[in-house]
Chain A
């Protein structure tokens, strides 16, 4: 029983960070209707940025958030404006051209990082990396708890932005019905650029928060891109609430899977959930909760 609760707690905490990865993806998918296959790679860039800030300038990963988020936000704006949006204007046979473009961007980002930092595994050792607090015998990893807290704050901030500000409302309107939003005076092109930027910023935050817990190497992006899909599909495309639930569900499922089934099959758990959701609940949790 103790193992079970311990697994649950660990899964829940990592789920908070997964949610942050997933929210960025679901925003981008909701507004642009494309899969962003460079999502995990953006996170990887943010992790390397955090790593450099820590090793070169001794900036704590949590403080580095203030730098990585705007940096990746700008990178996101750039990618959307100069690489993805122009594709809307050219005709092609496959509608998935934008998706394939994100594949190319992901490859380029990974390889640039490999070129600079080599393929070695890196990790950041902070004074609190291994510390834990104990609650009735359950150990809670401190960096994970902090990360969870920051992820929570960022999520609430995003909700406030989406619900209360004009820009946020425009984003939601574009996601619901692009044509109608354009007719009502929303600059849809700018909204897609902004959304990609915000998505990149959020996943950058996840990267900085994960660095004290995870190790880092150039190919780490791929698995996280896959995780981001699973979360997005689980929650329902474009649903931010769904992404949070999806992130936590995925975190817990992975934890349970690696404890009770096999450590080696940890990543397979996510894929199996994903296919089950696609087959049996195609709209994701959004279909049930209607949010």
Chain B
């Protein structure tokens, strides 16, 4: 009951947010955070729950973004149609990639997804007649105000988190975790690992694709180096979940807000207060944060919450004593 109230309060706060925050810059950062909530949550479904660590979510994000962009440049319809097409298209891409890669396990799967990510990046760069090559795609934004984008992003984010929540707490979710913990044992009791991994990647790619299409609409400009980037998208998707907590519902949304705000804080040199060199070091700060979190909080802020709580209450933790 208490949880439900907290959730309602959170949603209410998010709904009222654009009226409290009037600066367009901060609204922009909130919209970016919401996009990352979607990507992080969908990454988490495939990797955190089903255990298939993907280094290639940029494939789905990029595919979604290009689907929306191509609606404008090739079909001459609004990029919002892309939101309709992006889901199915990325689902197909996800299915094909899953079909090829799911015969591989653990690090091999991760490697294959990196390889596919690079192939998509290169193809998007080289296939100039379709994608515009390195020049990317430029469209005209539909709204001048940020508020409509904020609400659309919020709806998508809530939808995504709700679907992930539903899936994880259903039979499928338990199969996912069984496959993550021990694929052979899961198969021995009759869980088709291949089928459930495919389900996971399809849902995951669907939402990442939607996020991509929304990004296209919002930013009005994409180029292959950004939307298919291993660093800016694929690894960021992992970091968002790692920081918040892999295999938890609320980890990725929390991680998304932390990472985006941290990134923006550094990129703007702590909102103009610090000297300029701080902004040059923003990726460095990022990397250091990753190292610290993985080293000390391997299950993320939500997953290792008891460690943080114990650290501040200065009580020796039973769990950590046992492990050391």
* Residues in chain A within 8 A of chain B (CB atoms): 33-35, 83, 86-87, 89-97, 99-101, 103-108, 110-112, 114-115, 222, 226, 229-230, 233, 262, 264-265, 267-268, 271-272, 274-275, 278-279, 282
CA distance A278 to B119 in the complex (A): 15
Q: Is there contact, CB below 8 Å, between A35 and B298?
A: no
Other 13 A-B pairs with CB < 8 A, given A35-B110, A229-B114: A89-B324, A96-B53, A104-B294, A107-B231, A111-B287, A222-B230, A264-B122, A264-B125, A264-B126, A267-B122, A278-B104, A278-B112, A278-B115
Report the stretch among B85-93, B190-198, B278-286 that lies at the interface: B278-286
Q: Is there contact, CB below 8 Å, between A105 and B323?
A: no
Set of chain B residues within 8 Å of A93, measured between Cβ atoms: 48, 180, 246-247, 299, 303
Interface residues on B, range: 35 or more
CA distance A107 to B303 in the complex (A): 24
CA distance A104 to B230 in the complex (A): 13
Closest to A89 in B: B323
Set of chain A residues within 8 Å of B104, measured between Cβ atoms: 278, 282
Set of chain A residues within 8 Å of B122, measured between Cβ atoms: 264-265, 267-268, 271
Set of chain B residues within 8 Å of A106, measured between Cβ atoms: 287
Closest to A109 in B: B287
Q: Is there contact, CB below 8 Å, between A278 and B108?
A: yes
Query: Assuming A90-B323, A93-B48, A93-B246, is B111 touching A103 (CB within 8 A)?
Result: no
* Residues in chain B within 8 A of chain A (CB atoms): 47-48, 51, 53, 100-101, 103-104, 106-108, 110-112, 114-116, 118-119, 122-123, 125-126, 180, 230-231, 235, 238, 242, 246-247, 280-281, 283-284, 286-288, 290-291, 294-295, 298-299, 303, 323-324
Set of chain A residues within 8 Å of B287, measured between Cβ atoms: 104-108, 111
- Chain B at the A interface: mostly helix, strand, loop or mixed? helix
* Cβ distance A277 to chain B, nearest Cβ, rounded Å: 10
Set of chain B residues within 8 Å of A110, measured between Cβ atoms: 283
* Cβ distance A166 to chain B, nearest Cβ, rounded Å: 29
Query: Assuming A99-B110, A226-B115, is B291 touching A83 (CB within 8 A)?
Result: yes
Question: In this complex, which of B108, B110, B298, B299 has the most chain A Cβ atoms within 10 angstroms of its Cβ?
Answer: B298
